[in-house]
């Protein structure tokens, strides 16, 4: 028995209305704003593609895009390597320790981005200073005061935060690999290393698609952690694209321009994730 | 062979323990330093406090107006999550009980909207909600409903497809209307999915900073993440208070995690994989 038409729309209405005023209308309006000069109260002029042209010549914006891509690229590789490593570790037969380790590795994921940023600000500024005084290694000196340490600081924070999350995803696939397959390979004389590369790794292909997609889009859109850790400093060198857009909108109050940057940002994310999905899906089929 | 197994087991446990300690070290530093005086943090950063004091906690608790910030965070998180569970499960129920081109089209539309990153709608969202005088908590809850709808509908829809239609039909013949069926038969059956939806959304809203920072501009309505900036002003940084404030801010989530760990981990993993 099909649901009656009226009931159908009544059940769908709250979500559709919310999506309409929260996403669809603002999105359409946003595209319009990106072609205008807009100060947050009124549109003062229609400027065509000027905002877009300006964005492509804006060195600070381009640098923020480059910085975002670099942070994202390095973190995605790190998060997935560590996440997979941790997942393999906690799925060994180690009894109760397995749950304990999972609990610990996943915990940072529960902490909000702002608080994470502040925690690591203390670790890099004071904790590392303490390690420097203790060991004399210049490696620990002056963190977050240079573009390089700001970059690695953000990467370390993201690794700590997200590896446990990606670990959970890998675990859910690892435990679904049929026991018999693994046991058969062991009986055939494969060692742990061979079992992983020859048996588990190919069966994990679908999970790579998911975990790469999630880590890629999550790291690309980071704002809170960036804001609380370095606030973009020193001299905007660690400013991610999201922060650059925010600052253009709410500090410079150049909303039309900020909106054009946001559209460019959206375009880049979409293209990158589509390429990633295409490549990993293709690999899934090849294996 | 057996000996080999025992050795590798020991190695794995050792490795895991070392990594766990490394993972917890940042939190250890935060907690131990939060028990030191302002002066001691400068001279002794890595060691245990010489004379632990809870004074920082008392000051931080007052400074961040913890009780009020906690209630503010709770109100927003609680109402957003409840409304999302009701609205999205109803929407998913409708889509699953009238299969056809229209439903597929609407479902596809929901999926497409997930591709829009928050930054692309941030500015116009403020102008739209500003123009109807809704830059307040109710507005924020509506925004969360819009932003979280697609994902939650997917999760519910996935489960609903597995529930046979005969279930509804028997009750329809008994004279119940659709809403009663949804409320008394369907919604209780969706409980595992509801847990997943609650977990992923509650964590998001509880920890969110960017959207509330734009929407909520009255100091008395600040949530915990907004309030953290009290300790991190432009020029003054009082680490002893800030660290105590950070510990207070993480504590509620960690406590909930300890009790509901199984559900939280499962919820996160289902939410990600589906």
> Is the residue at A23 inside a domain?
no
Write the residue in A12, A21, A133 that is nearest to B91 by C-beta: A12
Q: What's the whole-number mean pLDDT along residues A41-57?
A: 92
Q: Given an 8 Å threshold on Cβ–Cβ distance, is A14 in contact with B91?
A: yes
Cα distances from B116 to residues A15, A159, A269, B182, in angstroms, run: 17, 25, 10, 31
Residue A175 maps to which CATH number? Answer: 1.10.3720.10
Assigned domain for A162 exists = yes
Tell whether B26 is within 8 A of chain A (Cβ).
Answer: yes
Query: Which alpha helices (DSSP H) does chain A contain, by range?
Result: 5-19, 25-33, 50-57, 59-90, 97-106, 113-122, 128-135, 147-174, 179-187, 192-194, 201-203, 205-220, 224-229, 241-250, 255-286
The whole-angstrom separation of Cα B187 and Cα B79 is: 18
- Chain B neighbours among A 49-88 (CB < 8 Å)? 86
Cβ contacts (< 8 Å) between A250 and chain B: which residues? Answer: 214
CB contact under 8 A, A94 and B16: yes
How many residues in chain A? 287
Q: Which A residues, 156 through 185, put their C-beta within 8 Å of a C-beta on chain B?
A: 160, 165, 168-169, 171-172
Q: Does domain B55-273 have CATH number 1.10.3720.10?
A: yes
Domain range for A257 = 54-286
Where exactly are the structural domains of chain B? 2-43, 55-273
Write the pLDDT tens digit of every residue in B42-51. Answer: 888 888 888 8
Summarised one tens digit per residue, pLDDT across range A122-140 is 999 999 999 999 998 888 9
pLDDT for res A218: 93
- Residue A77 covered by a domain: yes
What's the total number of domains in chain A?
1
**Domain-located, residue A44:** no
Scan residues 47-86 of B and list those with Cβ closer than 8 Å to A: none
Q: Does the residue A141 lie in any domain?
A: yes
Nearest residue, CB atoms, A33 vs list B123, B150, B253: B123
User: B268: pLDDT confidence band, cut at 50, 70 and 90?
Assistant: confident
State whether the Cα torsion A47-A50-A51-A52 is positive or negative.
positive
Is the CB of residue A266 less than 8 Å away from at least one CB of chain B? Answer: yes
Interval A148-162 mean pLDDT: 96
Name the pTM for this structure.
0.92
| Those residues with Cβ within 8 angstroms of residue A163's Cβ, 6 or more apart along the chain or in another chain | A78, A79, A82, A83, A86, A105
Structural domain contains residue A109: yes
* Band of residue B235 on the pLDDT scale cut at 50, 70, 90: low
Q: What are the Cα distances from residue B100, in Å, to A4, B114, B182? A: 13, 22, 20
Q: What is the pLDDT of residue B2?
A: 62
ipTM over 0.85: yes
**Which of A16, A18, A132 is most worth mutating to test chain B (most B CB atoms within 10 A of its CB)?**
A18
A131 to chain B, any CB pair closer than 8 A? The answer is yes
Q: Return the bridge partners of A45, or none.
A: A37
| Contact list, A123 vs chain B (CB under 8 Å) | 26, 29-30
- Is A99 among the domain residues? yes
* In a domain? residue A144: yes
Q: How confident is the model at residue A115, as a pLDDT?
A: 94
Query: Among B192, B211, B215, which Cα is nearest to B274's?
Result: B192
């Amino acid at each position: 028995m099909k649901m009656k038409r009226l009931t159908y729309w009544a059940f769908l209405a709250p979500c559709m209305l919310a999506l309409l005023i929260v996403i669809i209308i603002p999105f359409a309006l946003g595209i319009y704003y990106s072609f205008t000069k807009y100060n947050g109260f009124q549109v003062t002029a229609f400027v065509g593609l000027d905002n877009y042209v300006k964005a492509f010549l804006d060195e600070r914006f381009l640098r923020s895009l480059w910085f975002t891509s670099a942070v994202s690229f390095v973190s995605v590789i790190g998060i997935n390597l560590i996440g997979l490593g941790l997942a393999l570790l906690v799925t060994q037969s180690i009894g109760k320790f397995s749950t304990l380790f999972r609990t610990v590795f996943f915990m940072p994921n529960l902490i909000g981005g702002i608080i994470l940023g502040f925690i690591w600000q203390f670790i890099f500024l004071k904790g590392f200073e303490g390690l420097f005084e203790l060991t004399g290694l210049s490696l620990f000196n002056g963190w977050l005061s240079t573009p390089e340490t700001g970059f690695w600081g953000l990467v370390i924070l993201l690794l700590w935060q997200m590896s446990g999350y990606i670990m959970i995803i890998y675990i859910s696939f690892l435990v679904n690999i049929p026991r018999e397959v693994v046991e058969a390979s062991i009986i055939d004389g494969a060692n742990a290393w061979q079992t992983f590369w020859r048996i588990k790794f190919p069966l994990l292909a679908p999970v790579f698609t998911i975990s790469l997609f999630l880590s890629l889009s999550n790291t690309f859109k980071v704002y809170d952690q960036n804001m609380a850790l370095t606030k973009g400093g020193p001299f905007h060198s660690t400013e991610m694209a999201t922060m650059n857009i925010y600052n253009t909108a709410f500090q410079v109050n150049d909303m039309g321009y900020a909106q054009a940057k946001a559209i460019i940002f959206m375009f880049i994310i979409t293209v990158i994730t589509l390429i990633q999905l295409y490549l990993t899906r293709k690999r899934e089929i090849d294996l | 062979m057996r000996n080999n197994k025992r050795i590798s087991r020991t190695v794995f446990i050792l490795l895991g323990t070392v990594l766990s300690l490394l993972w917890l070290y940042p939190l250890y530093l935060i907690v131990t330093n939060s028990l030191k005086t302002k002066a001691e943090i400068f001279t002794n950063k890595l060691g245990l406090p010489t004379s632990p004091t809870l004074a920082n906690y008392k000051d931080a608790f007052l400074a961040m107006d913890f009780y009020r910030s906690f209630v503010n965070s709770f109100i927003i998180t609680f109402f957003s999550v409840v409304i999302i569970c009701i609205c999205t499960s109803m929407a998913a129920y409708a889509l699953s009980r009238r299969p056809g081109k229209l439903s597929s089209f609407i479902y596809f539309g929901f999926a497409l909207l997930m591709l829009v990153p928050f930054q692309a709608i941030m500015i116009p969202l403020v102008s739209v909600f500003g123009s109807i005088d809704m830059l307040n908590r109710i507005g924020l809850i509506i925004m969360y409903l819009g932003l979280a709808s697609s994902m939650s509908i997917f999760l519910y829809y996935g489960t609903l497809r597995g529930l046979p239609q005969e279930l509804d039909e028997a009750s329809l013949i008994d004279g119940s209307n659709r809403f009663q069926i949804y409320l008394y038969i369907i919604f209780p059956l969706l409980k595992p999915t509801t847990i997943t939806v609650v977990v992923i959304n509650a964590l998001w809203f509880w920890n969110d900073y960017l959207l509330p920072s734009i929407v909520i501009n009255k100091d008395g309505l600040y949530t915990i993440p907004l309030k953290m900036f009290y300790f991190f002003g432009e020029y003054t940084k009082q680490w002893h208070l800030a660290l105590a404030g950070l510990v207070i801010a993480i504590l509620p989530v960690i406590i909930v995690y300890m009790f509901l760990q199984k559900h939280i981990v499962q919820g996160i993993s289902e939410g990600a994989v589906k």
